[in-house]
């Protein structure tokens, strides 16, 4: 592999791993050799095979998106691993962790291995796959080790992936060792709300059915299990400010994340965007938006991930409630946050922390998430001043639409490297021969709260 020098970039470097805004941005030359970062303070004349002149551009660690639904196998009319990985590369996402609710669901070791084989043959970027919990597959959950973790659907799923009986949850938390994450919406509350509201075609009722109380009950239940069993647990897609009460008390067992749609959309957007912003958990209020932004700033929430979950526009355009929940986001998530940095709301070190370093540490992904010597050269070069408008027809995701269609953002990726190999650039497009790899998941390092100086290599 060629030795690469990225010269004169404004490099986003990590700081104290528990304070999202403690990193720094400074001019540096980054030398890459054999897929690894060799030096972050290399000489401008260092021996190399290729030089990338990066004056006026920022170099960030590649995004680690720890919550995506890429639909393969079984639902490839919506998305597939090849096209989704193209969307990742163009969006600066160099590693994705995919959820188990495919057809068939990944609820066995064999099922996870089958998905890994598909990704090895198709994906431009790195990949990992959660194993899904059911009420009766604890034995499978104890036998697998080299995966990011266990996913539980405490609400909002179908078939045997729905786990909302207390006895089953107790067994999973008590008898397994992998970190756990969960979709937290109380199914009993959701069903009761739906029965009370009755037959409806009003999309705004989606947020009344999947309301704040449903999220709070499930999040309280799951975090209580984690604390009592002393089991590492990650709260996926926090959607309400009210849930934060269960996260503000520091715990070595708890981390949490938020998604761009819960930061940037609220119930006022149903009239404008319709089912494009229909999600589970549902979007909430402007006050919840503000509370979630503050929780990020206060380091109560550690991770930003997308919950990329596309459907075809034909499916989404069905009348509610036939319209399915979910939206595509991987190729725009970094640009959305860069735009917020341009507006002065957040900083580039915070973006690198929330979208790269923190998720790598939560899931024990060694060598990922930081620009530091010895780490993998998973990198994204961004032009923080570039203005571009999101258009449905320009999307690389198979669904070919975005809820942010028509929005102009400032700050965009221009090149992406995975393991030191350029997989995409705005000028030349994709390297179709490139393939990502499965990272190493080392859960013995203790996760986010045990790795303040990075996950290491």
CB 58, CB 10: distance < 8 Å: yes
Please write the tens of the pLDDT for every residue from 210-219: 999 999 999 9
Please write the tens of the pLDDT for every residue from 47-61: 999 999 999 999 999
Give me the pLDDT at residue 1, please: 73
Instruction: Grade residue 18 by pLDDT with cuts at 50, 70 and 90.
Output: very high
> Per-residue pLDDT averaged across 423-438, rounded?
98
Residues in the chain: 457
In a domain, 175, yes or no: yes
The pTM of this model reads: 0.97
- Token digits for 435? 């393939």
Question: In angstroms, rounded to a whole number, what is the distance separating the alpha carbons of residues 87 and 94?
Answer: 10
- What is the chain's mean pLDDT, rounded? 96
> Per-residue pLDDT averaged across 318-332, rounded?
98
Q: What angle do CA 188, 248, 210 make, to 5 degrees?
A: 25
Give me the pLDDT at residue 158, please: 57
Number of separate domains in the chain: 1
In a domain, 232, yes or no: yes
Give me the pLDDT at residue 3, please: 96
Instruction: Grade residue 178 by pLDDT with cuts at 50, 70 and 90.
Output: very high
Q: What angle do CA 327, 328, 331 make, to 5 degrees?
A: 155
In DSSP notation, 126-171 reads EEEEPEEP-TT-HHHHHH--SSS-EEEEESS--GGGB---HHHHHH
In a domain, 429, yes or no: no
In a domain, 456, yes or no: no
Phi, psi of 31 (to 5 degrees): -100, 130
Instruction: Grade residue 159 by pLDDT with cuts at 50, 70 and 90.
Output: low
Query: Which has the closest alpha carbon to 360: 453, 296, 293?
Result: 453
In which domain, by residue range, is 341 found?
60-371+439-450
Is-cis flag, bond preceding 63, omega within 30? no
Phi, psi of 191 (to 5 degrees): -65, -40
The enclosing H or E element of 112 equals: helix 109-122
Give me the pLDDT at residue 233, please: 98
CA dihedral 271, 274, 279, 282 (to 10 degrees): 20
Return the sign of the alpha-carbon dihedral for residues 342, 344, 346, 350. Answer: positive
Question: In angstroms, rounded to a whole number, what is the distance separating the alpha carbons of residues 29 and 39?
Answer: 8
CB 130, CB 182: distance < 8 Å: no
Give me the pLDDT at residue 378, please: 98
Instruction: Grade residue 162 by pLDDT with cuts at 50, 70 and 90.
Output: confident
Query: Which has the closest alpha carbon to 3: 29, 28, 27, 38?
Result: 38
Q: Please identify every residue annotated as catalytic.
A: 307
Residue 156: pLDDT over 80: no
In a domain, 51, yes or no: no
Instruction: Grade residue 163 by pLDDT with cuts at 50, 70 and 90.
Output: confident
In a domain, 11, yes or no: no
CATH of the domain at 102: 3.20.20.140
In a domain, 36, yes or no: no
A 10 A CB-CB count for 283 gives 25
CB 29, CB 42: distance < 8 Å: yes
How much of the chain, in percent, has pLDDT values that exceed 70? 99
Q: What angle do CA 252, 254, 255 make, to 5 degrees?
A: 115
Three-state secondary structure readout of 313-350: HHHHCCCCCCCCCCECCCCCHHHHHHHHHHCCCCCHHH
Q: Which residues fall within 8 angstroms of residue 448, CB to CB, at 6 or more apart?
A: 17, 255, 302, 358, 361, 362
In a domain, 243, yes or no: yes
> Per-residue pLDDT averaged across 372-398, rounded?
98
Residue 441: pLDDT over 80: yes
């Amino acid at each position: 592999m060629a030795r690469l020098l990225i010269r004169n970039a404004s490099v986003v470097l990590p700081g104290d791993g528990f304070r999202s805004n403690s990193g720094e941005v400074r001019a540096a030359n980054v030398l890459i050799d054999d897929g690894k970062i060799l030096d972050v303070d290399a000489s401008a004349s260092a021996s190399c095979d290729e030089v990338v002149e990066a004056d006026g551009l920022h170099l960030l660690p590649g995004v680690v998106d720890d919550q995506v639904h890429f639909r393969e196998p079984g639902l490839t009319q919506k998305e597939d691993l090849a096209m989704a990985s193209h969307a990742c590369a163009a969006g600066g996402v160099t590693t994705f962790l995919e959820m188990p609710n495919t057809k068939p669901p990944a609820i066995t070791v064999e099922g996870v291995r089958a998905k890994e084989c598909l990704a090895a043959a198709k994906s431009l970027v790195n990949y990992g796959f959660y194993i899904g919990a059911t009420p009766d597959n604890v034995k499978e959950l104890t036998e697998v080790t080299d995966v990011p973790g266990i996913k539980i659907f405490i609400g909002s799923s179908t078939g045997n992936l729905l786990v909302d009986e207390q006895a089953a949850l107790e067994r999973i938390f008590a008898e397994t060792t992998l970190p756990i994450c969960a979709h937290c919406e109380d199914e009993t509350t959701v069903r009761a709300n739906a029965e009370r509201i009755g037959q409806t075609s009003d999309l705004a009722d989606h947020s009344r059915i999947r309301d704040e109380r449903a999220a709070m009950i499930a999040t309280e239940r799951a975090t209580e299990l984690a604390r009592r069993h002393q089991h590492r647990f990650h709260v996926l897609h926090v959607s309400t400010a009210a849930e934060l009460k269960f996260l503000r008390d520091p715990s070595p067992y708890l981390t949490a994340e938020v998604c761009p749609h819960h930061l940037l959309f609220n119930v006022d957007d149903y009239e404008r965007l319709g089912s494009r912003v229909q999600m589970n958990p549902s979007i909430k209020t402007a006050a919840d938006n503000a509370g979630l932004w503050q929780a990020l700033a206060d380091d109560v929430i550690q991770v930003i991930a997308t919950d990329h979950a596309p459907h075809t526009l034909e499916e989404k355009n069905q009348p509610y409630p036939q319209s399915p929940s979910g939206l595509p986001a991987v190729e725009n998530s970094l640009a959305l946050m860069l735009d917020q940095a341009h507006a002065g709301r957040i900083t580039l070190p915070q973006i690198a922390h929330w979208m790269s370093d923190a998720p790598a540490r939560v899931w024990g992904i060694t060598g990922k998430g930081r620009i530091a010597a010895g780490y993998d050269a998973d990198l994204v070069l961004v032009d923080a001043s570039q203005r571009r408008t999101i258009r449905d027809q320009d999307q690389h995701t198979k669904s070919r639409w975005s809820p942010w269609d028509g929005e102009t953002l400032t700050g965009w990726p221009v090149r992406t490297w995975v393991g030191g190999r350029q997989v995409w650039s705005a000028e030349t497009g994709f390297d179709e021969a490139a393939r990502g790899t499965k990272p190493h998941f080392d859960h013995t390092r203790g996760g986010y709260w045990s790795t303040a100086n990075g996950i290491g290599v």
